[in-house]
């Protein structure tokens, strides 16, 4: 220690150092120099200051530095959720269009098929996905950590089987029946329930895998054989305009419970829990907005609803029952009978 020599900087030097610290702290997160150069430069500058000045200027630097880095650490990491075109998921689209998801750093991925929805999740391109208990039953075999986070709705006529002929013609035909559906989805469960329910077990059925966007382009008059189309709202509305008629649904003819929920892995839930909790509030807020002003809600989500008119959109709402805010004891029991876990839902 050298007590005989004291290095001092003048006021201009101190001012320059203070400016340097402020500038350095404001750019700290993207500072391009190595750590060795960074701290060597700091120590070199501090060496020429009086002790009091060191503490004063260093305090400014640390205060600004911790403030900036603290803000960065508190930001949400991006949460990607994939969703299909289904009226029960419309609160998500409403929240997106209102800008509510931006503050939570949630990115909503809009896909056209149920299988694409699952593949995005499996490939790690989505952190969570919306779907039914059927898709969940497929994925849980591959990923035991998969779990439902929140409920949206239950189908009450929203999952539908259409045909280009009557039910009686289907039962009496000797021709092969073409069945169009998304194979890796709830469509398969509907068709499996429909066939024995209406005595079609002995029929020759050709299964044709099509996503809903492709399926919805079919026209009844252009099909040469008796056909079944397994679909859901809002695609059914367009298909009925193209000549198909309903032969069964989750409201009439099929005693099948279909529940829509948001699913993720346990690790993702732990990582994004706060975002999921806030998203739940936004879904409830959106459904309340729907009740209060359905016209405004429809106008907001119209780009996602396949060019449905307002009247058709309102009609489609009759095909679901909202369960996002809670479920009855009877429905809870029925859901549990399906082996669908509801404990721990947000």
Structure confidence at residue 71 as a pLDDT band (50, 70, 90): very low
42 vs 7, 39, 284, 306, CA distance in Å? 16, 5, 52, 61
Alpha-helix runs per DSSP H in the chain:
11-26, 35-46, 51-74, 90-97, 114-122, 133-139, 167-172, 186-197, 212-215, 235-241, 266-292, 294-301, 310-317, 329-337
| 226 and 208 in a common domain | yes
**Chain length of the chain:** 346
Residue 206, pLDDT above cutoff 90 = yes
- Report the CATH number at residue 237: 3.40.190.10
What domain range includes position 219? 159-249
In total, how many domains does the chain have? 3
Residue 5 lies in a domain: no
| 165 and 241 in a common domain | yes
Please, what is the average pLDDT of the chain? 85
pLDDT digits (tens, 9 = 90+) for 15-66: 454 444 444 444 443 333 334 444 444 444 445 554 445 455 555 555 544 4
Residue 234, pLDDT above cutoff 90 = yes
Chain centroid offset of residue 209 CA? 24
Residue 345 lies in a domain: no
**Per-residue DSSP letter, 181:** E
Of all residues in the chain, what percent carry a pLDDT higher than 70? 79
Average pLDDT estimate for 162-179: 98
pTM attached to this predicted model: 0.77
pLDDT digits (tens, 9 = 90+) for 128-145: 999 999 999 999 999 999
275 three-class SS: helix
Residue 57 confidence (pLDDT)? 54
pLDDT digits (tens, 9 = 90+) for 315-338: 999 999 999 999 999 999 999 998
What is the rounded distance in angstroms from the CA atom of residue 162 to the CA atom of residue 136? 25
Average pLDDT estimate for 230-251: 96
Final residue belonging to a domain, choices 74, 96, 124: 74
Final residue belonging to a domain, choices 188, 221, 249: 249
144 vs 83, 136, 338, CA distance in Å? 22, 10, 17
| 262 and 149 in a common domain | yes
């Amino acid at each position: 220690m050298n007590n005989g020599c004291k290095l001092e900087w003048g006021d201009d030097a101190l001012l320059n150092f203070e400016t340097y610290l402020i500038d350095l702290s404001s750019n700290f997160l993207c500072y391009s120099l190595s750590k060795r150069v960074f701290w060597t430069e700091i120590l070199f500058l501090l060496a020429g200051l009086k002790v009091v000045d060191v503490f004063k200027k260093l305090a400014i630097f640390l205060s600004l530095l911790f403030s900036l880095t603290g803000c960065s650490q508190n930001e949400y990491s991006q949460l990607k959720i994939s969703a299909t075109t289904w009226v029960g998921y419309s609160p998500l689209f409403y929240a997106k269009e209102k800008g509510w998801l931006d503050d939570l750093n949630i990115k909503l991925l809009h896909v056209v098929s149920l299988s694409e929805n699952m593949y995005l999740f499996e490939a790690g391109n989505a952190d969570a996905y919306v779907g039914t208990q059927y898709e969940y039953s497929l994925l849980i075999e591959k990923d035991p950590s998969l779990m439902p986070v929140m409920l949206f709705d239950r189908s009450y006529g929203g999952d539908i089987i259409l045909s280009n002929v009557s039910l009686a013609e289907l039962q009496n035909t000797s021709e092969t029946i073409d069945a169009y559906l998304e194979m890796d989805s709830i469509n398969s469960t509907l068709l499996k329930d429909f066939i024995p329910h209406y005595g079609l077990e002995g029929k020759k059925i050709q299964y044709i895998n099509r996503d809903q966007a492709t399926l919805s382009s079919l026209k009844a008059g252009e099909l040469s054989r008796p056909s079944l189309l397994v679909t859901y709202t809002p695609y059914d509305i367009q298909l009925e305009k193209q000549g198909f008629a309903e032969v069964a649904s989750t409201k009439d003819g099929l005693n099948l419970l279909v529940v829509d929920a948001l699913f993720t892995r346990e690790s993702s839930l732990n990582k994004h829990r706060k975002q999921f909790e806030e998203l739940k509030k936004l879904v409830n807020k959106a459904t309340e907005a729907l009740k209060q002003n359905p016209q405004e809600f429809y106008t907001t989500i119209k780009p996602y609803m396949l060019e449905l008119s307002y009247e058709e959109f309102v009609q489609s709402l009759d095909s679901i029952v909202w369960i996002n805010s809670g479920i009855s004891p009877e429905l809870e029991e029925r859901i549990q009978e399906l082996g669908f876990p509801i404990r721990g839902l947000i």
